[in-house]
Amino acid sequence: MLDNYMTLAEGNLQVRYVEGDERFANETLRKLMESFALLSEYFRLEESSLQGVRAILVPNRSEYDRLVVGLLGVDIEVPSNPGRVAQPQRTDIVFLSASAYRQHSTYYYDAAEYRRLVVHELVHVFEEHLSPDIEASPRWWSEGLAAYLSGQWKHADQFRFRQPAMDGIRLGSVPSIQEIQADVGLCYDWGWTIVMFIEHTYGRDTIGKVVRECREGNVLATLGDDPVAFEKRWREWLPKENRRF
189-202 per-position pLDDT tens digit: 999 999 999 999 99
Q: With pLDDT > 70 as the criterion, what percentage of the chain qualifies? A: 98
pLDDT band at 47 (very low <50, low <70, confident <90, very high): low
pLDDT band at 244 (very low <50, low <70, confident <90, very high): low
Query: pLDDT, tens digit, for every residue of 126-148?
Result: 999 999 999 999 999 999 999 99
pLDDT value of residue 245: 62
pLDDT value of residue 232: 97
How far, CA to CA in Å, does 13 sit from each of 21, 48, 66, 139? 17, 12, 23, 26
Using a cut of 0.85, tell me whether the model's pTM lies above it. yes
Task: Give the span between the Cα atoms of 118 and 187, in whole angstroms.
Answer: 19
Domain ranges of the chain: 6-130, 134-244
H or E element, residue 4 = none
Average pLDDT over every residue of 150-158: 92
Cα within 13 Å of Cα(53), Cβ side: 32
Query: pLDDT, tens digit, for every residue of 10-28?
Result: 999 999 999 999 999 999 9
Average pLDDT over every residue of 222-238: 95
pLDDT band at 48 (very low <50, low <70, confident <90, very high): low
pLDDT band at 188 (very low <50, low <70, confident <90, very high): very high
| Inter-residue contact 207 to 186 (CB < 8 Å) | no
Question: In three state form, how does the secondary structure of 67-83 look?
Answer: HHHHCCCCCCCCCCCCC
The class of domain 6-130 in CATH terms is alpha beta
Q: How many CB atoms lie within 10 A of CB 9?
A: 12
pLDDT value of residue 38: 96
Query: pLDDT, tens digit, for every residue of 98-130?
Result: 999 999 999 999 999 999 999 999 999 999 999
